[in-house]
Amino acid sequence: MSEIIGFVGMSHSPFATMTPPTDPSQPGGAFLADADRVAEAVARLAPDAVVVVGPDHFHANFYDVMPPFVLGVEEAIGFGDFDSRSGPLPVASQLAWAIRDGLAADGFDLSLSYSLTVDHGVVQSYEMVTGGSPIPLVPLVINTAAPPLPSMDRCVALGRALGAAIRGSAFAGRVLVVASGGLSHWLPSNDPREVDGEKRESVIHGRKDVRAVAAVREPRVRAMGGNPDARVNADWDDWFLKQLVADDAAPITALGDAALEDNAGSGGHEIRAWLIGQAAVGLPLVWTSYEPVPEWITGMGIGATFEVA
């Protein structure tokens, strides 16, 4: 039987890898220092596998077919976007299949992939939490790109079922659950009903030539970085973390998508990963870290259900 040993929620940003600070006092420096401390704490916990819940940013999933949840069961390939790791990642396949079967028995028919591409939305937090150690992972990708999105209540229910599936698995190991996403950030719309022209073509049909889509998109994202006046809602991010410290997701899910987006921006939909991860573990956050980093377009938060020295 598997043992769940804890949960880590962590923001990600392309700029954390593209333009890391050269001094801890620079924007993002506090976040990266705390991420290193989390990696040291995780190393002491010595997980045998990591379940990583995170989004995709149009490197694997497009609106020709957009599944709400995709589980990788055999092979995971890092896309290598924004200087994140590219190439094969180790997959805990036995645990992945046990999760699939457990979730299906609980009424969640997830899409699955024998060869799942994962971008920085999964890879960056995986590498930061594990400190680069090749701990086998189970990737679970959530659609947070644009509506229709899985409801936040559905995500909490999925998280509870995920926890039961892990605990009921025959995988004999210690499992850490990691969520990658959020917190508040405002991004251009990816909703096919709101965009037109080249962008609409790419979010629907980009699968035909993913590298070409990335080559067009990445310079646009890179150009957004470095703005000290970019919008981040630190007050809302603080409120969100406090709800997870109280182990009470209800005030968050009660917001609904419109109020969530008003407070945390379109990128705030990524907090679904945190809701799933904490519900899987079923414990309050006991350690949090937060730094608003407008230069990275994001509020950079970390939360853990275990102490971080």
- Which residues does residue 51 pair with via DSSP β-bridges, in sequence order? 138, 177
Residues 6+ apart with CB under 8 A from 65: none
The set of catalytic residues is 120, 185
C-alpha–C-alpha distance, residues 88 and 134, integer Å:
11
Query: Closest Cα to residue 290, out of 156, 139, 174, 184?
Result: 184
Residue by residue, DSSP assigns the chain as --EEEEEEEE---HHHHHS--SSTTSTTHHHHHHHHHHHHHHHHH--SEEEEEEE--SSS-BTTB--SEEEEEEEEEEE-GGG--EEEE-B-HHHHHHHHHHHHHTT---EEEEEEEE-HHHHHHHHHHHTT----EEEEEE--SSSSPPPHHHHHHHHHHHHHHHHT-S--SEEEEEEE--SS-------TTT--HHHHHHHHHGGGGHHHHHHHHHHHHHHHTT-TTS---HHHHHHHHHHHHTT--HHHHTTHHHHHHHHH-GGGGGHHHHHHHHHHHT----EEEEEEEGGGTEEEEEEESS---
d(CA 27, CA 71): 34
